[in-house]
Structure 1
Amino acid sequence: MEIRNLDHIDFDTLFCAFERAFADYEIHFEKEEVRSMLQRRGYNSKLSFAAFIKDKIVWPLC
């Protein structure tokens, strides 16, 4: 397992990890809702990290 920032991760990959992380939530999010939320909250891929196994995000950290 390797901890890396999300600087080189495209939004579709990030959204897929988001969907997996919150799959058991009663409310499901649309892709554009998540994109808007990240923009509103000042998402910075260089300052956001996740755990990776090979090239797959296995746990978002922040």
Structure 2
Amino acid sequence: MPKVGAIVIDGMVHANVENPGLTIRYTEDGSDPDVNSKVYEGPIPFKGQVKLRAFSISENGGGISGIK
């Protein structure tokens, strides 16, 4: 499972993952993303830290990417 690629542009976090069909979930409180975390649906405001993780349909998670 690939890690999520992420970058901050103009104060917004832009994320993507190379495999179609994966769901990107994220947290902003320093905790690791899990199946109950918010779903990334488009750029989000960068508030100091974000952790992102890709999940398959069967809810298997990949590696965690972070931005500080």
Task: State TM-score, norm by structure 1.
Answer: 0.25
- Higher helix proportion: 1
Based on CA coordinates, which of the two structures has the bigger radius of gyration?
A: 1
Where relative contact order (Cα < 8 A, 6+ residues apart) is larger, the structure is: 1
Structure 2 length-normalised TM: 0.24
